[in-house]
């Protein structure tokens, strides 16, 4: 099972299930088609997910299907504070970086360029190097 982090700014696109450019991830997450993947949530990202009210029922269903995994919330929040203090941080998403570190996730689905830079920075997320999935052309990462 490949673990990944789905940035809140991608939720509507992926769960809306009508954007063909992300269909590989939509189908894999929503109906378990082709790729065995699980989206990891925890810390502030969970809060962001919960603010997108219309997909709350989808999160529960994904968890029942084992395709959404809850990370250790306290550990993520603690590490978020730690990551936020790094002087070379470019993005304003330390919670996502902390989630990747705590839950050992190395695939990020996001359109945020600054976050891409941080996610692939091995001083923040150590080896193996973080990889970015943005659309179906990156689906080899889901194998």
Partner 1 sequence: MEVTLITERIRSFDKRTEIDIKPITFLVGENSSGKSTLLSALNALGEPAGFPFNTNFNRAPFNLGTFSTIATDSGGRAGRASSFILGFSLISGKRKNRVVATYVNSDGYPMVSSVHVINNSGSAKFDIVKNQLKVTFVVSDSQHAVVVGMPRREMTSSSAIINRLLQKMMSDSKSKKGRRRDDHAIGSLFQILTNGLNQYPRTSSLAPIRTKPKRTYEPGVKPYSAEGEHIPFRIARTFAEETPQEQDIALMEALSEFGKSAGMFDGISPRFLGSAKLANPFQLMVNTAGKKAVLTDVGYGVSQVLPVIVESITNKDSDYLLLQQPEVHLHPKAQAALGMLFAKLTAEQLIHPLIIETHSDYIIDRVRLAVSQGVLRPEQVTIVFLEKVGRFSQAHQLSLDDRGNILNTPLRYREFFMREQLQLLQRTVNV
Q: Contact with partner 1 (CB under 8 A): which of 52, 58, 84, 86?
A: 58
Distance of CA 55 to the CA centre of its chain: 16
Gyration radius from the chain CA atoms: 14
Cβ 32 vs Cβ 68: under 8 Å: no
Cβ 4 vs Cβ 37: under 8 Å: yes
Question: Which is nearer to partner 1, 48 or 63 (by Cβ)?
Answer: 63
Question: Which is nearer to partner 1, 50 or 113 (by Cβ)?
Answer: 50
Please report how close the Cβ of residue 5 comes to partner 1 at its closest, in angstroms: 15
Q: Contact with partner 1 (CB under 8 A): which of 57, 87, 127, 137?
A: 57
Q: Contact with partner 1 (CB under 8 A): which of 19, 47, 48, 63?
A: 63
78 lies in the site for partner 1, by CB under 8 A:
no
71 lies in the site for partner 1, by CB under 8 A:
yes
Neighbour count for residue 59 (Cβ, 10 Å): 19
Contacts with 107 (C-beta within 8 Å, 6 or more apart), sequence order: 2, 3, 4, 5, 130, 131, 132, 133, 141, 142
Q: Is 122 left (phi over 0), alpha (psi -120 to 50) or beta?
A: alpha
Site mask for partner 1 (CB under 8 A), range 10-39, x = bound: ------xx------------xxxxx-x---
DSSP three-state, residue 124: coil
Q: Contact with partner 1 (CB under 8 A): which of 25, 46, 67, 125?
A: 67
Please report how close the Cβ of residue 25 comes to partner 1 at its closest, in angstroms: 14
Residues that bind partner 1 (CB under 8 A): 1, 16-17, 30-34, 36, 54-55, 57-58, 61-67, 69-72
């Amino acid at each position: 099972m490949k673990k990944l982090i789905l940035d809140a700014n991608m939720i509507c696109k992926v769960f809306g299930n009508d954007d063909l450019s992300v269909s590989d991830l939509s189908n894999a997450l929503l109906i378990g088609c082709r790729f065995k993947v699980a989206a990891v949530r925890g810390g502030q990202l969970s809060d962001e997910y919960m603010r997108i009210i219309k997909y709350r029922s989808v999160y529960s269903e994904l968890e029942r299907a084992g395709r959404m995994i809850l990370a250790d919330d306290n550990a993520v929040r603690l590490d978020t504070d730690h990551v936020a203090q790094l002087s070379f941080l470019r993005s304003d998403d330390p919670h996502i970086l902390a989630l990747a570190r705590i839950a050992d996730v190395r695939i990020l689905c996001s359109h945020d360029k600054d976050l891409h830079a941080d996610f692939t920075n091995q001083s923040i997320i150590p080896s193996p190097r973080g990889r970015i999935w943005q659309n179906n052309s990156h689906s080899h990462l889901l194998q």
